[in-house]
Amino acid sequence: MTPHDRPTRRTAAAANLPADAFNWALRLATRMTARSLNMPEPLLHDTGVFVFAHVAAAERRAVKTLCPFTLLRQALARRRQS
């Protein structure tokens, strides 16, 4: 393998540029949000995870309630009772 065949550090670093830019932007957004809310970054992260878990649970309950098969089963049960 000649020196011209090996990738240089510059090309290896350029391959990760979009991922690095995304991570940098995400860290910046987290830091700016934490500063604007006057709370530490770890607390902001944990609060986000907590809110996400509650929203996911509420969505699961809503989907279970509005499931077409469940609604059909409930409607048939009401029809049988009357």
The reply to whether 29 and 47 lie within a common domain is: no
Same domain, 65 and 75: yes
The predicted structure's pLDDT at residue 36 = 94
The predicted-structure confidence for 21-74, as pLDDT tens digits, reads as follows 999 999 999 999 999 999 999 999 899 999 999 999 999 988 888 888 888 888
Domain count across the chain? 2
Confirm whether 3 is domain-assigned: no
Q: Where are the alpha helices (DSSP H) in 37-67?
A: 41-65
* Residue 7 pLDDT level (bands cut at 50, 70, 90): low
Q: What is the pTM of this model?
A: 0.52
Handedness of CA 12, 18, 20, 21 (dihedral sign): positive
pLDDT at 82: 74
Same domain, 76 and 65: yes
Q: At residue 77, does pLDDT exceed 80?
A: yes
Domain match, 47 and 20 both: no
Which structural domain range is residue 51 located in? 40-82
Residue 24 to residues 12, 19, 36, 42, Cα–Cα distance (Å): 18, 9, 18, 17
